[in-house]
Structure 1
Amino acid sequence: MARLIAFSFLLLPLIEIALFIVVGRAIGLLPTLALVILAAIMGAVLLRQQGLGVITRMRNSVNAGTVPGRAMFDAMLIGVAAVLLVLPGFLSDIVALALLIPAVRGVIFANLAGRFTVVETTTSYRRHPNPHDPWESQPKAIDLKDEDWREDR
C-alpha cells in the first residue's frame, strides 16, 4: 500500500503536466492559464460555502449531544479538496471539485462507514455518584473546631 501511495505521488505531476500540454494545445496558453485560475477561484468560493455548512452541522451535532461523525468526515474531505485546489493542475482540480459535491462525499462516506467502528470518548472525567455506596451519599463537609483554626497572614 505504501508503494502504491509513493508511486501515485510520482505519477501525479506527470499526469498534470501531460494534461497541461493537451489542454494548452487544444485551447491555447492564455485560455489554459485562465481555466486554472478560474478553477481555483470557483473552488475557493465552493470551499467557503461548503466549509461553513459543515461547521454549522458539526456545531448542531455537538449541541445535540451526538457524535458528528459525518460532519467530521465532510470537513476532512473538504480539507483534502482545499489542498488539491492549491496544487496547480487539471486532474487535482477535478478531484477537488468532485469532493466539494455533497453527493460525492455521501457516496464515499457510505462506502467507508461500514468498514469502521466509531467509539465515543470524552476528554474529561466525570464521576457519577454511585447510589449504592454509603460514603458517596453523605455530605462532603469537613468541620473544624475553633481551636484547630489559625490564621497566618
Structure 2
Amino acid sequence: MNKFLLLFIAVPLIEMVVLIKIGQQIGALSTIALVILTAIIGIALLKQQGIAMLNRANWKINQGQIPAREMAEGIVLAAGGALLLTPGFVTDALGFICILPGSRHFLLNQVLKNISINPIHQTHEQTHWHDTQSSQRDTYHRHTPQENKKDSGNVLEGDYERKK
C-alpha cells in the first residue's frame, strides 16, 4: 500500500480518537476552544517566523548569496502552517514542530545532511533563446552552449520598446 495513502487514512483516524478522548476529559466546547486557540497561536508564530526567514533570505540575496537554507525553511514553515490549520491536536503538535525555531532547525539539519547538492552542468541539449527581429515578424534564434560561450563578450542586457 502506498505510504501516502496510509498516512491520509491513519492521521484523521488518530485525530478523531485523540479529539474524542480529550473531549471526554475536558468537554466538547473546551476541546473546540483549545483547537481554535492552538490554531491562533500557531498562525501568529508562523507569521513571526516567516517574516524573520524572509528577512534572512533578503539579507543573503543582498550579499550575493543563494538563500537555499531559507528556501528549505520556507517549505517547512508552509507545511507547519497547513498542519496548524488542520483541526486536531496531533497535527497541531506536528505543526508546532515545524514552526518552532529549535525543532525546525533540528529537523532541517537531519534532512539536509542526507542530501548532497551537485552543481548544474549544462548539456548539449540545453539551449538559450533570444528575440531577434526579421522584417515584419518576430523570430527566435536558438543558441547552443558553444555559441553562448563564443559570444559571451557581446551580450547586452536591457529592455526594448517596439515603435510602429
Q: TM (normalized to structure 2)? A: 0.70
Give identity over the alignment, percent.
Answer: 30
Letter in 2 for 1:69: A
Distance 2:57 2:118 in 1: 17
- The Cα shift of 1:119 comes to 4.7
Higher helix share: 1
Q: Which structure has the greater CA radius of gyration?
A: 1
1:67–1:120 CA contact under 8 A, matched in 2: no
1:97 aligns with 2:96: yes
- The Cα shift of 1:60 comes to 0.7
- Count of residue correspondences: 126
Q: Deviations over 1:23-67 (max 9, x none)?
A: 000111111011001001001100110010010011011111112
> Which residue pairs with 1:130 in the alignment?
none
1:50 aligns with 2:49: yes
For the aligned residue pairs, the C-alpha RMSD in angstroms reads 2.3
Q: TM (normalized to structure 1)? A: 0.75
Q: Deviations over 1:94-140 (max 9, x none)?
A: 1101111111111112112222233566xx99xxxxxxx9xx59xxx
> Which residue pairs with 2:158 in the alignment?
none
- The Cα shift of 1:18 comes to 0.4
Higher relative contact order (CA 8 A, sep 6+): 1
Higher strand share: 2
Distance 1:44 1:109 in 2: 20
> Which residue pairs with 1:6 in the alignment?
5
Structure 2: stretches of 5+ with no match in the other structure: 121-127, 130-149, 155-163
